[in-house]
């Protein structure tokens, strides 16, 4: 189905944004060459995180140092090699690496078309806790837990549930008809990418049809709810800030 020219599902509001691939425009990212980068979410829209997709062209690579930020890098498709803090690993779809602040990194050797999703946040140290270390993982090793007892809404946590970490990145998979059990309103902020399927997202008092490839930013305290619809499961990967004092 074609959208009428001049029409879009994109909305960028003060407390949330829905962005769709049809509206994406590429940016240049310092340290990254021969890639197409889309800054999906950033402080420029009022967020305290950045969410960026990077698609490798031939000879594409990215290198730098995380500085004050920490990165969570998830492979959406394809293959590449990742180096961080002296550790090196090949990553394929579903693989990921957490890169702490003040750490050198390099992504290279990517198959053309390999796509990464990167969440970035300013690291907030916590007195008495060590800084987290580089961590490689794969979504297939993250056990799925029924969300609040619902076997049709499965949550996979990709990072350890430990106060050392000030962010969480999870994958939520809903069978058709499954929902978030109630309209959540919470201090944590979300950056989200729809990985598959479709459904309806409630954001504040608005209901939006969403599908694979769509991006949502939810500011702290943005009321939120989701129902999966259609014939296949719907899933999304999302970021949240956790484990720190509100002041």
For residues 30 and 241, give the distance between their C-alpha atoms in angstroms, rounded to a whole number. Answer: 25
Q: Which is nearer to Mn ion, 10 or 184 (CB)?
A: 184
Q: How many CA atoms lie within 13 A of 174 on its CB side?
A: 25
**Partner from ligand UGY, Mn ion, none contacting 55, C-beta within 5 to 8 A by type:** none
Extended beta strands in the chain, E state? 11-12, 16-19, 32-41, 49-65, 69-77, 79-84, 87-92, 95-99, 104-108, 115-122, 135-138, 144-147, 150-157, 167-174, 190-196, 198-203, 206-211, 215-218, 224-229, 234-241
Which of 20, 29, 7 has its CA nearest to residue 217?
Answer: 20
Residue nearest to Mn ion (CB): 184
Residue that is written with structure tokens 């409630």 in the block: 202
CB of 44 to ligand UGY, least distance (A): 22
**Partner from Mn ion, ligand UGY, none contacting 172, C-beta within 5 to 8 A by type:** ligand UGY
Residue nearest to ligand UGY (CB): 224
Note whether 10 binds Mn ion by CB under 5 A. Answer: no
Binding interface with ligand UGY (CB under 6 A): 172, 180, 184, 188, 190, 224, 238, 240
| Residues 213, 194 contacting (CB under 8 angstroms) | yes
**Partner from ligand UGY, Mn ion, none contacting 19, C-beta within 5 to 8 A by type:** none
CB of 89 to ligand UGY, least distance (A): 27
Q: Which is nearer to ligand UGY, 114 or 156 (CB)?
A: 156
Q: Which is nearer to ligand UGY, 103 or 224 (CB)?
A: 224
Q: Which is nearer to ligand UGY, 85 or 220 (CB)?
A: 220
| Residues 244, 126 contacting (CB under 8 angstroms) | yes
CB of 226 to ligand UGY, least distance (A): 6
CB of 97 to Mn ion, least distance (A): 24
Segment lying near Mn ion (by CB under 5 A), choices 26-34, 101-109, 144-152, 177-185: 177-185
Name the CA dihedral angle for 182, 117, 43, 216, rounded to a multiple of 10 degrees.
-30
Residue that is written with structure tokens 């007195």 in the block: 127
Tokens of 34: 């021969």
| Residues 101, 133 contacting (CB under 8 angstroms) | no
Q: Which is nearer to Mn ion, 82 or 228 (CB)?
A: 228
Segment lying near Mn ion (by CB under 5 A), choices 13-21, 115-123, 143-151, 183-191: 183-191
Q: Which is nearer to Mn ion, 70 or 241 (CB)?
A: 241
Residues that bind Mn ion (CB under 5 A): 184
């Amino acid at each position: 189905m074609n959208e009428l020219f001049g029409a879009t599902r994109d909305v960028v509001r003060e407390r949330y944004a829905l962005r769709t691939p049809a509206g994406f425009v590429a940016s240049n990212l310092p340290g990254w060459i021969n890639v197409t980068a889309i800054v999906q979410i950033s402080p420029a829209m009022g967020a305290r995180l950045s969410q960026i997709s990077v698609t490798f062209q031939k000879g594409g690579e990215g290198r730098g140092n995380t500085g004050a930020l920490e990165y969570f890098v998830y492979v959406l498709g394809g293959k590449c090699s990742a180096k961080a803090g002296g550790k090196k690993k090949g990553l394929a779809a579903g693989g990921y690496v957490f890169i702490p602040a003040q750490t050198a990194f390099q992504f290279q050797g990517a198959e053309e078309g390999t796509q990464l999703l990167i969440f970035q946040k300013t690291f907030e140290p916590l007195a008495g806790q060590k800084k987290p270390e580089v961590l490689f993982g794969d979504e297939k090793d993250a056990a799925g837990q029924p969300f609040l007892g619902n076997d049709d809404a499965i949550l996979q946590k990709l990072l350890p549930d430990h106060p050392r970490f000030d962010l969480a990145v999870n994958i939520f998979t809903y069978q058709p008809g499954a929902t978030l059990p109630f309209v959540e309103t919470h201090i944590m902020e979300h950056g989200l990418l729809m990985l598959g399927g479709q459904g309806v997202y409630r954001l504040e008092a608005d209901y939006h049809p969403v599908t694979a490839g769509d991006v949502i930013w939810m500011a702290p305290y943005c009321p939120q709810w989701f129902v999966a619809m259609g014939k296949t499961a719907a899933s999304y990967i999302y970021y949240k800030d956790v484990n720190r004092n509100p002041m």
